Amino acid sequence: MALDYTTYKEAKEKFRWSQRWSVFDGSKDRFNIAHECIDRHPVQEVAIRIKFDDGRTEQYTFGEFSRMTCQFANFLIRLGITPGDKVALLLSPSIEFYVSMFGIFRLGAVVTSCSPLFGPEAVAFRLENSAAKAIVTTRDCVKMIAPELIEKLKLKFIFAEDLVGDLKKEDARFSWNTDVDTPSMVQFSSGTTGAPKPIFYRHGAITVSAVVVKFAGGLTPDDTYFCPSSPAWGHGIWYGTISPLIYGKAIGAYSGKYDVEKCLEALEEWGVTNMAAISSHYRLIMESDKCDKYKLKLKKITYTGEAMGKWVVETLREKWGLTPYCQYGTTEAGPITLDYAGFTDWVVRPGSLGKPMIGGLKVTVIDEQGHELPAGEKGEIAIWRDNKWVGIGDSAYIDEDGYYWYVSRVDDVIISAGYTIGPIEVEGSLMNHPAVEECAVVGSPDRDRGDLVKAFIKLNEGYAPSDQLAKSIQDFVKAKLSKHEYPKEIEFIDELPKTPDGKIKRKVLKERERKLKLKV
């Protein structure tokens, strides 16, 4: 493998970003994600392993993967899709999902990934915002998309149920024509003050992943890799799907409702040595009584998405004999601070966010005036952009040895069980319920999820607070948005706190929740 530094000290002294190109065949003028992740590797080696929630396993070789993605690129052309067009994916991990994603990359079209957990409003927003020309999904998902939107976008449907059969008719050869600056994907990140924001990526973005999965993920030539994170989200896309393939290591995916025992089955069945997941995945495994039933070969585990509680760290050490490595970043900025599982001299400080990415963004902690703070003082994590410090919405402090320690969110974004949730989108859905006059959504501290989504609701005249009404409102939002976004708690309130100009003061509600929960 390229980038073979043994220690953090050596990498910090010698690594330069130009070295990442040694990993790849391509150059800045000719570069394609599908080629770099699939075509360069031995055709007989396993490229994809999927464990489904019903217990079955599927696997596919690089040869099969290469052929099918070429066929899918040709299929898209015959459908009228051209380079630069947006194609949405509304699928769980499956051969149809991966073939579609990398076939889109191969063509030079742009992936818009949607989670099957989304409801109609969330799907519609992403389709319309990205101006999708086509969507790959299952027939039972068609009802989620309004006929008017289908007509407006002239949306073409590609059905997963037919895809493998349809591809057999297509040419298995395809000549791609992209470079590092060719758009490849649009992800939507929940913002602090409005609807989800589109974040665009180009083919060259995978060169960053190549460095992170080696240095921070500790991926080695002997590893078997597994990441149960959904590929509809950043972690599942970049570090569950793309990163292992760069080095010819198979995707190890989980499909369906998360089940601890099925996850453990995959770890044992495949002989997984390197696992990347969100903190909640590990917590659920440690809380179960299933661990001792399985003989595992894990050597390294990394986590992201939310802070990991002290109990989970201690239990992982007790049951698996492993210390988890943290990876911290955002959809907009990429990797920010990391533990370095790839270096023999790296010392994990459990609970910390590690140190800034080697050779990456310039990072610090600032006060409200944008000035850098000394070690030990709490402020906002900031990155250096356009000749100034730009805060990213998380408060933290730096210790004397340069490790970063997370404190909390400084904005209104909610991080619950690894999912980043924008309150505005949830509030917009709540306001469509006939009982709701006004509402505010905040994160309420929760031992298991980090935060849970809580809604404060002022009712319209004619409605009275009740458990039945709260359940009705929850079900209403759950059907419209994602199953992880609906408010897990609802509190009916006579008046919402507001500024003199009428803006709702979410921070007041959020602080109240934190004080109440701290007393429990």
Asked if 307 and 450 count as a contact pair (C-beta separation under 8 A), the reply is yes
Exposed / middle / buried, residue 499 (Cβ in 10 Å: 0-12, 13-18, 19+): exposed
Strand, helix or coil for residue 434? coil
Quickly count: other Cβ atoms within 10 Å of residue 262's Cβ.
21
Using a 10 angstrom Cβ sphere, with 0-12 exposed, 13-18 middle and 19 or more buried, the burial of residue 107 is: buried
On whether the CB atoms of residues 426 and 418 are closer than 8 A, the answer is no
Do 24 and 37 form a contact (C-beta atoms < 8 A)? no
pLDDT by 10s per residue, the chain, length 520: 679 999 999 999 999 999 999 999 999 999 999 999 999 999 999 999 999 999 999 999 999 999 999 999 999 999 999 999 999 999 999 999 999 999 999 999 999 989 888 889 989 999 999 999 999 999 999 999 999 999 999 999 999 999 999 999 999 999 999 999 999 999 987 544 456 789 999 999 999 999 999 999 999 999 999 999 999 889 999 999 999 999 999 999 999 999 999 999 999 999 999 999 998 899 889 989 888 899 999 999 999 987 787 888 999 999 999 999 999 998 888 899 999 999 999 999 998 999 999 988 899 999 989 999 999 999 999 999 999 999 998 889 999 999 999 887 777 778 888 787 878 788 889 998 999 999 999 999 888 888 899 999 999 999 999 999 999 999 999 998 877 889 999 999 999 998 655 667 888 998 888 888 766 5
DSSP string across 119-156: -HHHHHHHHHHHT-SEEEE-GGGGGGS-HHHHHHHTPE
DSSP character at residue 504: B
- Give the CATH number of domain 414-519: 3.30.300.30
pLDDT, one tens digit per residue, over 412-439 is: 778 888 787 878 788 889 998 999 999 9
DSSP string, 43-64: TTSEEEEEEETTS-EEEEEHHH
Write out the two tokens for 320.
């698996």
Residue 500: what pLDDT? Answer: 57
- Count CA within 13 A, CB hemisphere, residue 506: 22
Q: Are strands 183-189 and 110-114 parallel, antiparallel or unpaired?
A: parallel
Domain ranges (residues) in the chain: 414-519
Cβ atoms 436, 456 nearer than 8 A: no
